[in-house]
C-alpha cells in the first residue's frame, strides 16, 4: 500500500515537472531569430495579415529567398488577422521586450512604445544607407513621417492609391458625367437613386471606410491642418468649414439612402463582392483591388475617377489619397549584420515582388514591368507627381478618440444624431 | 477505497491541483485587473498611478457604461427566457414524442457545437439587406416594407437580435439538461397524478416541473452568469453597434482596453463586471433560497 502511494506521489511529481518543462520549452518569437542570444538561425516576423495579404506574400518571398541564399532556416511567420488581437500581441511583445525581428506597425502609441524600448529601427536612415531614399515615392515617404520627431520608422507595405470605381454602363444609361466636385457627386447619387439604382457601395462595418467620407473635405482643403489642429484642441468640427462639409457629406450619403441598404453591417470583403458582382454604380476603393477590377475594366464596364473637389474652397492639387498601408518595423534590438543585409536585399528587390507576386504598386519610383493589367499603367499618372500623402485619421487620432468617433460616425450616417449634436459630441472628446 | 477518500490528505491531494489552477487563472487575474484599474495605462510603456479616478470616471462621468449595463440586463433577460424557458419547453415536447426523438434532440443540439463565428456568419447572411437575405425575402411576401428592413444595423433591433442569436445557440444545451431531469422524474409521481385525475398540462405544471425546480434554478444561474459576461455573439454580429446600440459591458470593456488602448480604464470596467455579476448572482440565490424556505 505504502509502495503504491509512493509510486503515485512520484508519478504526480514527474507529471508536474514535465508540464513545467514543457511550458518552459516554448520559444518566444524573437529569441531564436534574434542575434542577442547567439548565432542567428532564422528571421522572425509578426504581421497583421492573412496568407493572401500582399505584405505576407512579399515578405515571405523575399525572406525565403534571402534565407536560402544566406544559409538560414525558413523564416518564422506569425500572422494575426484581427486588428485588436494584433495590437494585444504587439503590446505583449513590447512589454516583455521580446519583439520579433520584423513586425507590422503604425505611427502612434505602439511605435512610440517601441521607440521607448529602443525596439524600432530608423527606416529613413536605413534607406539613405542603402541609397534608396530618393527612389521612394515622396508621398509614401511623407505618409510615414512621425509627428513627434519628423523621422520615418516604418517601411511601406506598398504604394496604395485610392479612387472611385464607377460603372460606365450605368453612367451612360443616365447620361451622367464623372463628378469633379462633391456637389456634382451628390447630384449623381440623386439621379441614380431616383432611378432605383444603388448609387454607392460602402463597407460601413469597417471604421476607415465611413471615416474616409468624413475626412475627404478636410484633407483636400487643409491636408493634415484640421486633424492635427483638432487633436491639439485648436480646431473643432463645429467651427472648421471643411470639417463641417465632411460631416454634412457623410450624413447626406447615409440618410438619403445613397449607400446600399444595411451598409453598416457590410464588411470590406462583402462590399467588394457586391460591387464587382454587379451591385452599385460607384465604389470607393483603390489599387489594392486591381485584380478584382481588371476583367471588367478591360471590357470597358468600369472606369475610375479621383476624389472630388470641395465646392467653394481652395483644394490642394493632390486628389488621389496615397499611402503606404500598414507599415513594417524592424526591431533595433536584433538588427544585426544579417538584418541589415536583408534590409538592403529587400529594398533592391521590393519592386520585383510587388508587381510579380503581390500585384500591387511598388513604393519605389521604379519602372513598372511590361505585361501587367492595363489598370496598372492607366492609374500610374494619378500619383506619379503627387507629393502630398493621404492623411489617415486612424494614425493621427489617439486610439480612444478614434474609437469614440467611429461610434459617432455610425450614428451620423444613420441619422440617429443630428449634425450639431455630432459636432458637439466629437469636439467634446478632445476637451475631455 | 472509501476509507482512502475519507482521509483529509487524500482529499487535499485531489482538490489542490484544481484549486491552484483556479487561483492562478481566475483569482490572480481578477486581482491583477484590480491592480491595473488604479493606473492610467495604454497597455504599453509607463503606467501612471491615478488612484480611484478610473472608477469615478466610470460610475459618474461615463453615460455609455450605464447604457451597457442596461443593455446587458435586457440581453440577459432575453437569454434566460429563450434558453431556460425555451429549453424547458423543447424538453417537455421531446418527452412527449417517441418517434424521431433522437434526431430532433441532435438537431436542436447542433448550434451548441457550432462555433460562434460560424453562427454569426450564418445569421448575418440570413438577415442581410443587400443582397437580400432569406429573412427579408420571406417577410417581403407579407409586406414590401420588409424588403429593405435592417436588422443587424438597426439601432432599435440589433440588441434583441444579438440576444436571440445567443439564446438560439445555447438553447439545445439547456434543453438536454432539462430533458435528462424530466425523464428522471419518478414514474410513481406521474401515475399518482393520473390516478388523481390530472391532465397532461397539470402533470407537468403541478408535478414534474416543481420536481425539477433545483435544475431550473441551476440552469438560471448558469445562463445568468453566461449572459452577463457574454461577449462573442454581440461582438461578432454587431460589434456593439450601430454606435453603442448593442454594446454590452464585456464588449465595452474590450473596446476600452484594446481598441481605445485605455488598459487601466478597461480593467476598472472588468472589475465592475465582476462585482455586478457577483451581486446579481447573490441576489438571485437569496431570492430562490427564500422561495425554497417558504415552501
Domain of B240: which CATH number?
1.10.3720.10
Chain A positions touching B53 (Cβ under 8 A) are: none
Q: What residues contact residue A113 under an 8 Å CB cut-off, 6+ apart?
A: A91, A94, B42, B44, B45
Question: Do the chains contact at B241 and A407, CB–CB below 8 Å?
Answer: yes
Chain A positions touching B129 (Cβ under 8 A) are: 260-262, 265
- Dump pLDDT digits (tens) for A25-49: 444 444 444 444 457 889 999 999 9
What are the distances in angstroms from CA A259 to CA A214, B92, B145? 14, 47, 18
Query: What number of other Cβ atoms are within 10 A of residue B267's Cβ?
Result: 24
- The whole domain housing A277 covers 163-322+391-431
The answer on A127 and A141 residing in a single domain is: yes
CA–centroid distance for B247 within its chain = 15
- Reply yes or no on whether the pLDDT at A14 is more than 60: no
Q: Which three cell numbers stand for residue A295?
A: 476583367
Does A24 map to a domain? no
The answer on A317 and A255 residing in a single domain is: yes
Name beta bridge partners: A361.
A159
ipTM of the complex: 0.75
Does B87 map to a domain? yes
Q: Which residue of A has its CA nearest to B45?
A: A113
Distance CA B216, CA B221 (A): 9
8-state DSSP, A47:
E
Q: What residues contact residue B142 under an 8 Å CB cut-off, 6+ apart?
A: none
Does A330 map to a domain? yes
The answer on A265 and A184 residing in a single domain is: yes
Name beta bridge partners: A162.
A286
Q: Which three cell numbers stand for residue A33?
A: 531569430
Q: How much is the pLDDT for A2?
A: 59
Q: Name residues 70-109 of chain B within 8 A of A (Cβ).
A: none
Chain B positions touching A261 (Cβ under 8 A) are: 129-130, 148, 150
Burial of A3 per CB tally in 10 Å (0-12, 13-18, 19+): exposed
Q: How much is the pLDDT for A150?
A: 87
Does A2 map to a domain? no
What are the distances in angstroms from CA B10 to CA B13, B19, B21, B213, B228? 5, 14, 18, 34, 37
Least confident range of A181-185, A203-207, A390-394, B190-194: A390-394
The answer on A245 and A144 residing in a single domain is: no
Name the band, by pLDDT with cuts 50, 70 and 90, for residue B284: confident
What are the distances in angstroms from CA A414 to CA A30, A81, A102, A410, B39? 45, 28, 41, 6, 36
The answer on A358 and A332 residing in a single domain is: yes
The answer on A54 and A153 residing in a single domain is: yes
A371 touches B: beta carbon within 8 Å: no
Chain B positions touching A279 (Cβ under 8 A) are: 130-131
The answer on A233 and A148 residing in a single domain is: no
Name the band, by pLDDT with cuts 50, 70 and 90, for residue A309: very high
The answer on A248 and A357 residing in a single domain is: no
Of A400, A408, A411, the CB nearest to B261: A400
Q: How much is the pLDDT for A12?
A: 54
- Reply yes or no on whether the pLDDT at A380 is more than 80: yes
The answer on A342 and A214 residing in a single domain is: no
Question: Do the chains contact at B241 and A410, CB–CB below 8 Å?
Answer: yes
Distance CA A400, CA A409 (A): 14
For residue A359, give the CATH number of its domain: 3.40.190.10
B130 touches A: beta carbon within 8 Å: yes
Percent of chain A with pLDDT over 90: 60
Residue at grid coordinates 529569441: A31
Name the band, by pLDDT with cuts 50, 70 and 90, for residue B261: confident
The answer on A201 and A285 residing in a single domain is: yes
Question: Do the chains contact at A116 and B45, CB–CB below 8 Å?
Answer: yes
- Dump pLDDT digits (tens) for B64-96: 999 999 999 999 999 999 999 999 999 999 998
Chain A positions touching B5 (Cβ under 8 A) are: none
| Average confidence (pLDDT) over A11-19 | 51
The answer on A347 and A287 residing in a single domain is: no
Q: What residues contact residue A159 under an 8 Å CB cut-off, 6+ apart?
A: A137, A140, A287, A322, A324, A360, A361, A362, A363, A383
- Considering its fold, how many domains does chain A have in total? 2
B148 touches A: beta carbon within 8 Å: yes
Of A198, A262, A398, the CB nearest to B128: A262
Q: pTM, whole model, 2 decimals?
A: 0.80
Does B47 map to a domain? yes
- Considering its fold, how many domains does chain B have in total? 1
A256 touches B: beta carbon within 8 Å: no
Chain B positions touching A109 (Cβ under 8 A) are: 42, 44-45, 261
Q: How much is the pLDDT for B101?
A: 87
The answer on A110 and A145 residing in a single domain is: yes
Q: How much is the pLDDT for A110?
A: 79
Question: Do the chains contact at A265 and B153, CB–CB below 8 Å?
Answer: yes
- The whole domain housing B58 covers 37-96+150-294
Does B139 map to a domain? no
Amino acid at each position: 500500500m505504502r509502495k503504491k502511494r509512493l509510486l503515485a506521489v512520484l508519478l504526480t511529481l514527474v507529471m508536474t515537472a514535465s508540464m513545467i518543462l514543457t511550458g518552459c520549452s516554448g520559444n518566444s518569437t524573437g529569441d531564436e531569430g534574434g542575434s542577442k542570444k547567439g548565432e542567428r538561425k532564422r528571421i522572425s516576423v509578426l504581421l497583421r495579415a492573412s496568407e493572401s495579404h500582399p505584405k505576407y506574400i512579399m515578405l515571405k518571398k523575399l525572406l525565403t529567398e534571402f534565407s536560402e541564399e544566406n544559409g538560414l532556416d525558413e523564416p518564422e511567420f506569425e500572422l494575426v488577422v484581427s486588428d485588436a488581437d494584433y495590437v494585444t500581441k504587439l503590446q505583449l511583445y513590447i512589454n516583455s521586450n521580446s519583439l520579433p525581428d520584423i513586425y507590422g506597425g503604425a505611427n502612434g502609441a505602439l511605435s512610440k512604445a517601441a521607440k521607448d524600448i529602443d525596439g524600432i529601427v530608423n527606416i529613413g536612415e536605413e534607406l539613405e544607407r542603402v541609397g534608396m531614399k530618393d527612389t521612394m515615392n515622396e508621398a509614401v515617404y511623407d505618409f510615414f513621417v512621425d509627428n513627434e520627431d519628423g523621422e520615418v520608422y516604418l517601411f511601406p507595405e506598398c504604394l496604395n492609391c485610392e479612387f472611385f470605381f464607377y460603372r460606365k454602363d450605368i453612367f451612360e444609361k443616365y447620361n451622367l458625367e464623372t463628378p469633379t466636385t462633391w456637389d456634382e457627386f451628390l447630384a449623381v447619387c440623386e439621379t441614380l437613386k431616383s432611378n432605383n439604382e444603388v448609387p454607392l457601395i460602402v463597407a460601413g462595418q469597417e471604421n476607415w471606410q465611413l471615416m474616409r467620407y468624413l475626412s475627404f473635405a478636410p484633407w483636400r482643403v487643409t491636408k493634415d491642418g484640421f486633424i492635427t489642429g483638432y487633436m491639439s484642441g485648436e480646431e473643432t468640427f463645429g467651427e472648421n468649414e471643411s470639417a463641417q462639409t465632411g460631416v454634412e457629406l457623410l450624413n447626406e450619403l447615409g440618410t438619403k439612402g445613397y449607400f446600399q441598404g444595411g451598409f453598416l453591417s457590410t464588411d470590406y470583403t462583402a462590399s467588394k463582392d457586391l460591387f464587382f458582382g454587379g451591385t452599385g454604380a460607384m465604389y470607393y476603393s483603390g489599387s489594392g483591388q486591381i485584380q478584382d477590377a481588371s476583367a471588367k475594366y478591360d471590357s470597358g464596364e468600369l472606369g475610375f475617377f479621383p476624389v472630388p473637389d470641395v465646392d467653394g474652397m481652395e483644394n490642394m492639387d493632390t486628389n488621389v489619397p496615397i499611402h503606404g498601408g500598414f507599415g513594417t518595423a524592424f526591431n533595433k534590438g536584433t538588427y544585426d549584420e544579417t538584418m541589415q543585409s536583408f534590409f538592403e536585399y529587400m529594398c533592391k528587390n521590393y519592386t520585383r515582388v510587388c508587381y510579380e507576386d503581390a500585384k500591387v504598386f511598388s513604393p519605389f519610383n521604379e519602372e513598372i514591368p511590361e505585361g501587367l493589367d492595363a489598370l496598372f499603367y492607366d492609374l500610374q499618372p494619378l500619383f506619379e507627381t503627387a507629393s502630398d500623402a493621404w492623411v489617415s485619421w486612424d494614425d493621427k487620432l489617439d486610439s480612444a478618440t478614434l474609437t469614440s468617433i467611429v461610434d459617432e460616425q455610425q450614428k451620423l450616417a444613420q441619422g440617429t444624431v443630428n449634425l450639431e449634436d455630432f459636432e458637439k459630441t466629437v469636439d467634446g472628446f478632445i476637451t475631455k | 477505497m472509501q476509507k482512502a477518500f475519507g482521509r483529509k490528505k487524500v482529499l487535499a491531494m485531489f482538490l489542490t491541483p484544481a484549486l491552484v489552477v483556479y487561483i492562478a487563472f481566475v483569482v490572480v487575474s481578477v486581482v491583477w485587473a484590480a491592480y491595473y484599474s488604479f493606473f492610467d495605462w495604454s497597455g504599453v510603456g509607463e503606467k501612471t498611478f491615478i488612484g480611484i479616478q478610473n472608477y469615478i470616471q466610470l460610475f459618474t462621468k461615463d453615460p455609455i457604461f450605464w447604457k451597457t449595463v442596461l443593455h446587458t440586463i435586457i440581453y440577459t433577460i432575453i437569454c434566460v427566457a429563450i434558453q431556460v424557458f425555451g429549453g424547458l419547453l423543447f424538453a417537455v415536447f421531446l418527452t412527449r414524442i417517441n418517434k424521431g426523438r433522437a434526431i430532433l434532440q441532435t438537431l436542436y443540439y447542433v448550434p451548441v457545437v457550432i462555433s460562434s463565428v460560424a453562427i454569426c456568419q450564418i445569421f448575418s447572411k440570413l438577415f442581410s439587406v443587400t443582397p437580400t437575405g432569406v429573412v427579408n425575402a420571406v417577410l417581403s411576401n407579407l409586406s414590401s416594407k420588409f424588403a429593405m428592413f435592417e436588422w443587424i444595423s438597426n439601432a432599435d433591433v440589433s440588441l434583441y437580435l444579438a440576444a436571440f442569436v445567443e439564446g438560439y445557440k445555447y438553447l439545445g444545451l439547456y434543453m438536454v439538461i432539462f430533458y435528462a431531469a424530466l425523464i428522471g422524474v419518478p414514474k410513481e409521481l406521474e401515475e399518482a397524478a393520473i390516478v388523481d385525475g390530472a391532465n397532461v398540462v397539470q402533470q407537468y405544471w403541478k408535478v414534474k416541473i416543481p420536481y425539477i425546480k433545483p435544475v431550473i434554478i441551476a440552469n438560471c444561474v448558469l445562463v445568468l452568469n453566461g449572459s452577463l459576461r457574454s461577449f462573442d455573439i454581440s461582438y461578432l454580429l454587431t460589434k456593439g453597434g450601430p454606435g453603442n446600440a448593442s454594446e454590452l459591458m464585456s464588449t465595452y470593456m474590450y473596446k476600452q482596453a484594446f481598441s481605445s488602448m485605455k488598459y487601466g480604464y478597461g480593467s476598472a470596467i472588468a472589475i465592475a463586471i465582476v462585482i455586478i455579476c457577483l451581486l446579481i448572482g447573490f441576489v438571485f440565490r437569496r431570492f430562490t433560497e427564500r422561495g425554497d424556505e417558504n415552501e
